[in-house]
Amino acid sequence: MGHSNSRTLVVLTGPVGVGKSTSAHAVARHLRSAGVPVACLDLDQLYCMTRQREGFDDQDTWRIARHSAAVLTEHFFEQFANVVIVEGGFFNKTEQHQLVDALQSRPRLVFVTLHASFDTVQGRVMDDADPGRIASKVPAFLRHLYAEYEAALPFLRDASTGIQADDADAEQVGRQIAALVTSARGN
């Protein structure tokens, strides 16, 4: 099945604290200002909607969240969106396929990984006033999460476009990703 000309799915990943959510919203602002209808989905929020116990370590719940993101992506495409941005953990082929294979349509796919040093993400996490950001403020746990990202780097380098986010704010990153999306869409 070919790509639907007007549909693009952006899959945005990177370590905890790199700025995926704020960057996704910046991308959306840039594209909307150019007249492109956009929806954003946060995989962590979908996980929280479906989990049956505290924590973020249930792989079956992550699978359900990724499938839910696919269903919502299709709904947004059908209702209004030309671009859907799904941001969250997509560190291996299985995690990416749990989203992409659950899609009914075949939109253009743009995979982006935001990269930043541990010191950068730790600083951003510690400065984050979100009351829901508790576990990732524990240094040992944040190091564990960052190690998972580092272990995924060989796959991510091959499977996505990398953007260095250490010295870039969300607006700068958003402009870069919006340019990638515009280029992929042929606009």
Does residue 65 lie within any of the structural domains?
yes
**DSSP H helical segments within 36-112, as ranges?**
43-50, 59-79, 93-100
Q: Report phi then psi at 111, rounded to 5.
A: -100, 125
- Residue 142 is assigned to a structural domain of this protein: yes
For 153-187, write each residue's pLDDT tens digit.
Answer: 999 999 999 999 999 999 999 999 999 999 987 76
Asked whether residue 56 is domain-assigned, the answer is yes
CA separation for the pair 180, 10 (Å, rounded): 10
What total of structural domains would you count in the chain?
Answer: 1
Residue type present at position 136: S
Cβ pair 72, 123 in contact under 8 A: no
Tell me what pLDDT residue 5 has: 63
Enclosing domain of residue 111: 8-185
Asked whether residue 101 carries a pLDDT value surpassing 50, the answer given is yes
Separation between Cα atoms, residue 102 and residue 89, nearest integer Å: 16
Could you give the CA distance from residue 31 to residue 126 in angstroms, rounded to a whole number? Answer: 30
Q: Are 76 and 40 in contact, with CB atoms under 8 Å apart? A: no
Cβ atoms 24, 100 nearer than 8 A: no
Q: What pLDDT score was predicted for residue 105?
A: 94
Q: Cα(144)–Cα(180) distance, rounded to whole angstroms?
A: 31
Residue 145 lies in a domain: yes
> Token match 């979908």: residue?
46
Q: What are phi and psi of 178, to 5 degrees?
A: -60, -40
∠ CA 169-135-162, nearest 5°, is 35
Instruction: Please work out, in degrees rounded to the nearest 5, the angle formed at the alpha carbon of residue 159 by the alpha carbons of 44 and 171.
Output: 55
% the chain with pLDDT above 70: 97
Does residue 29 lie within any of the structural domains?
Answer: yes
What CATH number did the domain enclosing 59 receive? 3.40.50.300
Question: Residue 187: what pLDDT?
Answer: 61
In a domain, 59, yes or no: yes
Residues 6+ apart with CB under 8 A from 26: 170, 171, 173, 174, 175, 177
Pairing of strands 83-87, 8-13: parallel
Query: Contacts for 129-133 with beta carbons within 8 Å, 24 or more apart?
Result: none
Domain membership of residue 2 (yes or no) is no
pLDDT, averaged across the chain? 93
pLDDT in tens, 22-43: 999 999 999 999 999 999 999 9
Is 3 inside any structural domain? no
